[in-house]
Amino acid sequence: MSVRELVVLGTASQAPTRRRNHNGYLLRWDGEGLLFDPGEGTQRQMLQAGVSANDITRLCLTHFHGDHCLGVPGVVQRLSLDRVAHPVRAHYPASGRHFFERLRHASAFHEIAELCEEPIEREGWIAAGTFGELRARRLDHRVETFGYRLVEPDGRRMVPELLDRFGISGPRVGLLQRNGTLDVDGRTVGLGEVSEPRRGQRAAFIMDTRLCDAVHELADGADLLVIEATFLAEDGSLADEYAHLTAAQAGRVAAECGVRKLVLTHFSQRYPHPERFRDEAAEQFGGEIVLAEDLMRVPVPTRR
Ligand SMILES: [Zn+2]
């Protein structure tokens, strides 16, 4: 069975706390495992969360501040220690190539796993696979930062009542799906007659940024939006100064973009009561809000 879920490995910005590790998020999407922004301690968090090095197929970094990338050395070496047999692709802003080079070769190890670097030179399409397309947009932070958007192509869903009407069942359903048509008692039945459009699912991952057009484009119609909410509204000027979002801004983005499930994370350690992030986002967004906690699993909403 295919699994689509976010495994939260860490949720702290800048400095970890007793309860929050630095960032780290694994998006399981059928056979793919996209590891976003592994901060310090990600390798151990993976163990706690039941994520193995084998689950990782892509490493996706938004930018090269330490809370988003200091876990790369441990994760990269673990791929080789565990002899991960499939190639792992690494996406990161091309302007930070020298940082990735250092992280990748931070200390001596026997390199066995295949890590293919695919630095992001420009916005737009960056990869395609069975998951659909992975796209990136440049955000507005103090160093070059990219947000990510995963888009599954639209498809079609078979309608049992329509299949019944034509007396199509069993293996003949698969035959019709593969061929697009099926001969039923001398009449050709097309796929469109027994199915309806099925919208592809979308997930967006938006870390450190001020509000900008790219935030909206990445989040547009997302079933799952994982977005930073570093500050509360009372510190809105700090958010702007340090190029971050408030929970209210994240909530407004979710509302304006028709998001289904909003995951808030990357919290500043200055706030002892995280519920306030939910309250401020909920004033803007009426949909489901998840306050990310370390080791939490967040399912991608089921198809409508
Ligand atoms: Zn950060």
Task: Please say if the pLDDT value at position 1 is more than 60.
Answer: no
Tokens representing 186?
A: 């001398």
**Ion ligand 1, residue ranges at CB < 5 A:** 13, 67, 208
Name the percent of the chain lying above pLDDT 90: 94
pLDDT tens digits for range 212-221: 999 999 999 9
Per-residue pLDDT at 303: 84
Does residue 220 carry a catalytic annotation? Answer: no
Q: How far is Cα 296 from Cα 16, in angstroms, rounded to an integer?
A: 17
pLDDT-derived band at 256, boundaries 50, 70, 90: very high
pLDDT tens digits for range 191-204: 999 999 999 999 99
Burial of 121 (C-beta count, 10 Å sphere; 0-12/13-18/19+): exposed
Task: Tell how far the Cα of 55 is from the centroid of ligand 1, in angstroms.
Answer: 24
Task: Tell how far the Cα of 302 is from the centroid of ligand 1, in angstroms.
Answer: 30
Average pLDDT across the chain, whole number: 96
**Which residue among the candidates 30, 37, 55, 67 is catalytic per the annotation?**
67
**pTM, whole model, 2 decimals?**
0.93
Task: Please say if the pLDDT value at position 278 is more than 90.
Answer: yes
Q: How far is Cα 204 from Cα 218, in angstroms, rounded to an integer?
A: 6
pLDDT tens digits for range 69-105: 999 999 999 999 999 999 999 999 999 999 999 999 9
Task: Tell how far the Cα of 183 is from the centroid of ligand 1, in angstroms.
Answer: 57
Task: Tell how far the Cα of 142 is from the centroid of ligand 1, in angstroms.
Answer: 10
Task: Tell how far the Cα of 141 is from the centroid of ligand 1, in angstroms.
Answer: 10
Task: Tell how far the Cα of 68 is from the centroid of ligand 1, in angstroms.
Answer: 6
Task: Please say if the pLDDT value at position 131 is more than 90.
Answer: no
Per-residue pLDDT at 272: 86
Task: Please say if the pLDDT value at position 2 is more than 80.
Answer: no
Burial of 81 (C-beta count, 10 Å sphere; 0-12/13-18/19+): middle
Q: Who contacts 83 (Cβ-Cβ below 8 Å, separation ≥6)?
A: 112, 113
Per-residue pLDDT at 300: 97
